A and B are shown apart, each in its own frame.
Chain A
Amino acid sequence: MSGGARAYALHGGVIAVLFALQFILPAYHHGNLARIMVLASYAVGYNILFGYTGLLSLGHALFFAAGMYGMGLGIQHLGLTPAPALLLGLVAGALVSGGLALLALRTTGVAFMIVTLMFAQAGYLTILYFGEYTRGDEGFVIQQAQRVLWGIDLSDAGNRYFAALILFGSCLMFSLWLVRAPFGKVLVAIRENEERVRMLGYDIFAHKLAAMVISGTIAAAAGASYGLLFGYAGASFASVQYSIFPLLWVLLGGAGTVLGPFIGTLFMFYLIDLSSGVTTAYMLIAGVALVLLTLFAPQGLMGELRRRVWRGLP
C-alpha cells in the first residue's frame, strides 16, 4: 500500500471503530464519547493552526463560542431551525477568525499569543456584558423541540452520537487531506522556516490567514455542534479555560499529527473525569499535564510514535 492509501486506511479505520463502538458502549461512556468527538473536532481545528502552521493561539475559545452562540442565538432569538442555525454558527466563526487574523497576524510569537488571549477575553466579557441576550455565565438551554434536524431528534443519544461521529469524521478526513495537499505542506514549511518559504515565492500572510480561518471555522463548527447536540450554550465555553483545553489536548496527543488531537482529547477527558470524582480541583491535572508535557514530551503521544515507530505518520 502506498503511503497515502495507508494513511487513509488508518484514519478511516479509526472512524470505523468509533462507529462500531456506539453499539457496545454502556450509556455513560456512550455519552462521553459523543462529547469527546465534538471536542476532538475542536482540537483538530486547533491543530491545523498550532501543530501544522506553528502559530500558538491562546484565544481559540473565541471561535468555539462564536459557533456556539451564532447557532444558539440564531435558534433562541431568530427562531431558526437547526440547519440554518449551524450555518450561522459557521459563518460567525469564519468572520471572527478572519477578523482576528487580520489583526493578530501582524504580530508573531509571544505577542501573537497575548493578542489572541486578549481578544478572546474581550469576547468572553462581551458575552457577559450583553447578558440580556446571552444569559451570561448561566447560559441558556436549547429545548429538545428546537434540536430536531431534518426530522432527526438530536437529543436522542443514538442520533447524537452519530451526528458527533459525522462531524468528527469529516474534520478528521479533511485535516488528513489538507496536510497531504500542497497547501498543507506549505503550512508545515512555514512552521519550519518562514523566511525561506517567503523567498520561494509564497505569500506567507495569505497562507497564515487561510490557516487561521480554516482553524477557526472548524472550531466554530465544533462549538455550534456542541451547543446543538448537548442543548446548552454558556459563557464558560468562551473563557480562557476553553482556549487552554485544545492546546493541552493537542500537546498531549501530538501536535502536528492528524490523530493526535483525538488521542489527547480522549485521554484528558477521562483523566479529568476521573479526578473530578475525587476533588473539585480537577484542573490541577491540566496544570501538571501542561508542565510535564512541555518539559519532557513536547512531541506528545502520536509525535513520539511517529519519531520511534512510524516515520511517515501524518
Chain B
Amino acid sequence: MPGNPCARMDLGPYIVLASLEGAITAAVLALTAVGLSLVFGVMRVVNIAHGEFFMLGAVIAWWIAHSLGGHPAIGFAVALVAAPLIVGALAVAADMTILKRLNYDPERTIVATIGVLYIIQQMTLMGYGPDARPVEPPFNTRLAIPWFEHGADGWAMIWPWGLGTTSYKLAVIGAAVVLLCGVWLLMSRTRFGLVMRATQADRDMAQAFGIPVERVYALVFGLGAALAALAGVLIVPIQQAHYLMGADPLLLSFIVVIIGGLGSLPGTVLAAVLIGLSDGIISVFFSPTLAKILATLLVGLVLVFRPQGLFGARSG
C-alpha cells in the first residue's frame, strides 16, 4: 500500500486508488486461485501447501534477480520463466512421491500437504532467512490519474496528489489477464485441456479410454503450482519476498475457490475480482484484521450453508 494519502485526498479519488490496488490484488489472486481450482477440479484434492508455491515463486525471483544483477528487467524476465518451471517441477515431484502414494485420498492428502507446507516454509527459512527482501520491478514509471471535479466553471480535470499508479502495476493486471486467457485457451482449445477436462469429468472413464490419469494428475498439480509461482513473481516487485508470505494468498485463494464454486473457472475469476477488490477496499477503510476475520467467517459460512459456492453446481 502507498503511504496514507488520507489526509490529502477526498473520498472519490481515495476509492479510485483503493480500487486500483484492489484490482492488482484481484489480478494476482485470480492467478493463484485458478491454480488451486484446477487442482481441486481435476484431482479432487485440496492443496494446503498452495500458498507456499506462491511464496517460492517470489523467493526464487529474488534469488535470480540477486544472482544475475544488471538491469532489473533481465533478472525479472528470467525469473518469470524459470520460477514457475522450478516450482512446477517441485510440485510434480511432490505429487509423484506423496500424493500418488496416498491414492489422492482427500483427508490424507490435506494432512500430507500440511506437512509439505511446513517443509517448504521451514526450508525457505533455513536457506533464505527470516528477512523480507525487495525486488526491483523491470520498469516503474509513475502515472498520475486524473479526477474530475465539478467547480464553478463546470467539470475540470484535476490531478490529486497521491492518486496514481505505476506502469508496472498496470502491467501486472494486463499480464494476469493475458495469462488467464491463456489458461482458458489451454483448457478449452488444446488437447491437453481436453484430456484434463475428461479426467475431471470421469476419472475411470478417462482411464478406460487410455488416458494416463496419473501423469495428467502430476502435470495438473505442476501447472497449479506454476500458476501460483507466476503470481508470486508478478507480485514480488510490489510486495517484498518473505518466507511467511504464502499464508494470506492461501486463505484468499480458498475464499475465492469456495465462493466461486470449486472447479468452476469463470466462477473463480469472478470471485477473485470481487474478493480482491473488496479486500482492498475494506482493508483501506477498516482494519485489515477485521477484513480477514470477515473473510474467514464468510468461507466457513458458505461451506456450511451453500457448499456449491455461488456459481458451482450442486454435486448432489
Contacts and interface: CB of A to CB of B under 8 A. Distances in A.
In-complex A–B contact (CB below 8 Å): yes
Interface stretch (B5-13, B111-119, B224-232): B111-119
Sorting the interface of chain A by its residue count into under 10, 10 to 19, 20 to 34 or 35 or more gives 35 or more
A104 B111 CA distance: 19
B122 A284 contact: yes
Interface residues of B, number: 40
A280 B296 contact: no
Interface stretch (B59-67, B99-107, B131-139, B275-283): B99-107
B254 interface: yes
Contacts, number: 113
B251 A290 contact: no
Interface of A is mostly: helix
A75 B107 CA distance: 40
A111 interface: yes
Interface string A196-217: 0000000000000000000000
B98 to A, nearest CB: 6
B307 interface: yes
Given A107-B307, A113-B107, A126-B293, A121 B251 contact: yes
A61 B287 CA distance: 24
Interface in A245-299: 247, 251, 279-284, 286-292, 294-295, 298
Contacts of A110: 46, 106-107, 110
Given A56-B107, A128-B289, A115 B115 contact: no
B122 A244 contact: no
Given A110-B46, A294-B111, A129 B293 contact: yes
Interface string A117-135: 0110110011011000000
Contacts of B114: 244, 287, 290
Contacts of A122: 293, 296-297, 300
A151 to B, nearest CB: 41
A104 B297 CA distance: 12
B289 A283 contact: no
A119 B287 CA distance: 19
A281 B126 contact: yes
B303 A118 contact: yes
Contacts of B125: 280-281
B203 interface: no
Contacts of A129: 287, 289-290, 293
A289 B116 CA distance: 10
A109 interface: yes
Contact of A290 (B111, B258, B289, B297): B111
Interface in A84-104: 103-104
Contact of B303 (A56, A111, A244, A291): A111
Contacts of A119: 296-297, 300
Interface string B295-316: 0110111011101000000000
30 contacts: A56-B110, A56-B111, A103-B301, A106-B304, A109-B106, A110-B106, A110-B107, A114-B258, A114-B299, A114-B303, A115-B303, A118-B297, A122-B296, A122-B297, A122-B300, A125-B292, A129-B289, A129-B290, A279-B126, A281-B123, A282-B122, A284-B123, A286-B115, A288-B119, A289-B115, A291-B98, A291-B116, A291-B119, A294-B111, A294-B112
Give me the 10 closest cross-chain CB pairs, A-B, nearest first: A287-B118, A290-B115, A284-B122, A291-B115, A118-B300, A281-B122, A287-B119, A122-B296, A294-B112, A287-B115
Given A111-B307, A251-B111, 9 more contacts: A103-B301, A114-B300, A115-B304, A118-B300, A121-B296, A284-B123, A287-B116, A295-B112, A298-B108
Interface of B: 46, 98, 101-102, 106-108, 110-112, 114-123, 125-126, 130, 251, 254, 258, 287, 289-290, 292-293, 296-297, 299-301, 303-305, 307
